[in-house]
């Protein structure tokens, strides 16, 4: 799709401790775009997503976000002691999206029946569905997804793929890192291994 960029990153590098993990990563996303990050465990995919989201400073390079951004990673980012509906409602208040979107999101993720249950009682898959409900209720155009399918069964993975496709079709954009196979349709792939400094390549 054409349109103004939602995200532009140029010449990014990441240092963990005293070690340079990767360098020279640039990417841009317009409405409808998707980028898939690939690479082995520990290569720095999560670090890149956190840099893109403004949660971690890059060792080099720049990031410009031109749209509201929502992230899903291993933390479901919901108050574990509040009923799910209230926990999602807290985020809706922060995002300014209202509670109608919360109910719609829970319905889409198949967890409306858990609205009165605190997330601390959820299974791993239910927690991931709750995190995805928070994501879509945010109404943010730019999604940053770190292992969004972890903990989901086959139906949950298919639902995640459908949510991503619908988001892109509506003009959103996605950066995704996943070890589980995810069908994103037409997407750019960034192989993180190709951006490792030469001295760390075995």
pLDDT at 199: 52
Domains and their CATH numbers in the chain: 31-56+68-191 (3.40.50.300)
pLDDT per residue as tens digits for the range 2-35 = 468 999 999 999 998 888 999 999 999 999 999 9
**pLDDT at residue 180 is higher than 60:** yes
User: In the prediction, which pLDDT does 113 show?
Assistant: 97
Query: Could you tell me what percent of the chain has a pLDDT over 90?
Result: 77
User: Mean of the pLDDT values across residues 76-81?
Assistant: 88
- Looking at residues 69-96, what average pLDDT do you find? 91
pTM of structure: 0.91
> Mean per-residue pLDDT for 186-190?
93
d(CA 5, CA 37): 19
* pLDDT tens-digit map of 110-158: 999 999 999 999 999 999 999 999 999 999 999 999 999 988 999 999 9
pLDDT at 168 over 50: yes
């Amino acid at each position: 799709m054409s349109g103004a960029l939602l995200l532009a990153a140029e010449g990014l590098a990441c240092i963990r401790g005293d070690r340079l993990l990767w360098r020279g990563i640039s990417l841009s996303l317009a409405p409808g775009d998707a980028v898939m990050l690939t690479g082995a465990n520990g290569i720095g995919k999560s670090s890149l997503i956190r840099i893109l989201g403004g949660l971690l400073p890059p060792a080099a390079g720049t990031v410009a976000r031109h749209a509201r951004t929502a992230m899903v990673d291993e933390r479901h980012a919901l108050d574990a002691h509040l009923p799910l509906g209230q926990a999602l409602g807290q985020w809706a208040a922060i995002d300014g999206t209202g509670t109608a979107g919360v109910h719609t999101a829970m319905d889409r993720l198949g967890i409306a029946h858990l609205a009165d249950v605190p997330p601390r009682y959820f299974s791993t898959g239910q927690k991931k569905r709750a995190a995805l409900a928070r994501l879509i209720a945010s109404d943010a155009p730019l999604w940053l997804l770190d292992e969004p399918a972890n903990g989901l069964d086959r139906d949950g993975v298919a639902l995640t793929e459908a949510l991503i496709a619908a988001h892109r079709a509506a003009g959103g954009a996605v950066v995704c890192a996943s070890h589980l196979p995810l069908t994103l349709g037409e997407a750019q792939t960034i192989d993180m291994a190709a951006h490792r400094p030469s001295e760390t390549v075995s």
